[in-house]
Chains A and B, each alone.
Chain A
């Protein structure tokens, strides 16, 4: 039962590569931020899958912290794009 989680994490890696293509191609800055936001969510989910595959709950704690920090990052980039004070 360990293998399916690892294979799913591998498929998520392909998704991350596709989203990274949008970060590289994206004509405008918000396009790149959308790609980055998607990559963040995918990384959180693959961390959870890894934690379940290796039976280490520390991966999942890291995923919680990563989720909250990536949210702060997105908000601050959006604030910067708006042109307001950070």
Chain B
């Protein structure tokens, strides 16, 4: 029963990570690529780490040796680190791209460009 859950989590996570890579290749400009690259890898990582945590918790319950429990705690900390750093990094790249003069392709509206021109 738990093995099926682990397999399902692995498949969902791998699907979203593959989707992120395809999004990187298919979208037209930096901002839309960031959409794909950030959201899908974060969501996929949640599921892949979740499968590792569930598998190790089951090992811990079966064998009651502490090392699988340590592994799942550390995986959880790595997951929290990914969750905090990934969107922040995406924000930094988007801001840097806009300030270095790359405008969104096929944009309908661009408030930031207007405001920055108004300041000058």
Contact = CB atoms under 8 A, between A and B. Distances in A.
- Chains A and B in contact, CB within 8 Å: yes
Interface of A: 1, 4-5, 8, 11-12, 14-16, 18-19, 21-22, 28-31, 33-35, 37-38, 41-42, 44-45, 48-49, 51-52, 55, 57, 60-61, 63-64, 67-68, 70-71, 74-75, 77-79, 81-83
A48 B49 contact: yes
Instruction: Give the interface size class of chain B.
Output: 35 or more
A83 B100 contact: yes
Given A28-B30, A82-B100, A11 B18 contact: yes
Contacts of A16: 21
Given A31-B33, A57-B74, A64-B77, A8 B14 contact: yes
A52 B56 CA distance: 8
A4 B10 contact: yes
A42 B95 contact: no
A60 B24 contact: no
B24 A34 contact: yes
Contacts of B75: 48, 51-52, 60
Given A19-B37, A30-B97, A55-B68, 7 more contacts: A8-B10, A18-B18, A22-B25, A35-B37, A37-B89, A51-B71, A78-B93
Contact of A8 (B24, B48, B71): B48
B55 interface: yes
B55 A34 contact: no
B67 interface: yes
B67 A41 contact: no
Contact of A64 (B25, B37, B78, B97): B78
B96 A34 contact: no
B52 A33 contact: no
A81 B100 contact: yes
B61 interface: no
Interface string B5-49: 011001001100110111011000010011001100110110011
